[in-house]
Amino acid sequence: MRVIRTVNIPSGTDLVALYREQMEEYPKFFKMDILCKLGFLGTELLLKSDPDRFVPREDRAVLTFSRFGCECDDRHYSGTIDDYPSPALFVYTLPNIVSGEIAIRNRYEGETAAFIIEKYDFERIRSIVGDVFQDRKTGSAIVAWIDCRTETEWECQVSLVEK
């Protein structure tokens, strides 16, 4: 297994400005929670120069790892429960939504998964990615560590890894 490229988005980056500077119009971005925005933008930056990126493919997995998962959005959603629970926020109370958003945008039909682990643990992540590569169909993966403590405090590293 080898890492082809890695992109980091530093904590506190203005994500809307980064989106406007680096991406074509994708209105759904503004509905995303912080976890999805980070994973989505990280993947956009990572794959920006790939000429075949929107060609459907079954051989690429999307694996995200986090300690806090979607806790930021959980707090927002819980604040709406007393009045009117927000369906727009509810969808982002699932930490696997970010891997789905990445797969849908890039037309990946391989495995997608979200893992909640206690801390960034390179060996554990490598082991899980290695397990996914046991599937003969999977030749590469988007692997992301996205850990959002708050809306402005996070760790975001997105890598393209090949078998």
Instruction: Per residue of the chain (163 residues), give pLDDT as tens.
Output: 999 999 999 999 999 999 999 988 888 898 888 888 999 999 999 999 998 889 999 999 999 999 876 555 555 555 556 666 656 555 555 567 899 999 999 999 999 999 999 999 999 999 999 999 999 999 999 999 999 887 888 999 999 999 9
Compute the distance between CA of residue 144 and CA of residue 106 in angstroms, rounded to an integer.
15
Enclosing domain of residue 13: 2-162
Is 60 in contact with 141 (CB distance < 8 Å)?
yes
The Cα–Cα gap between 163 and 154 comes to 28
pLDDT at 152: 85
Q: What is the CATH number of the domain that holds 89?
A: 3.40.47.10
- The confidence score (pLDDT) of residue 97 equals 83
Instruction: Identify the pLDDT of residue 65.
Output: 96
Pairing outcome for strands 60-66 and 112-116: parallel
Amino acid making up residue 141: A
Q: Is the Cα dihedral 66, 17, 43, 101 positive or negative?
A: positive
Q: How many distinct structural domains can be found in the chain?
A: 1
121 CB-near residues (< 8 Å, 6+ apart): none
The tokens for 3 are 């890492």
The per-residue pLDDT for 85 is 60
Query: Residues 6 or more apart from 42 whose CB is under 8 A from it?
Result: 7, 8, 9, 144, 146, 156, 157, 158
φ, ψ (nearest 5 deg) of residue 142 = -90, 120
Tokens of 60: 């690429």
Cβ neighbors of 111 (< 8 A, separation 6 or more) are 61, 62, 63, 132, 135, 138
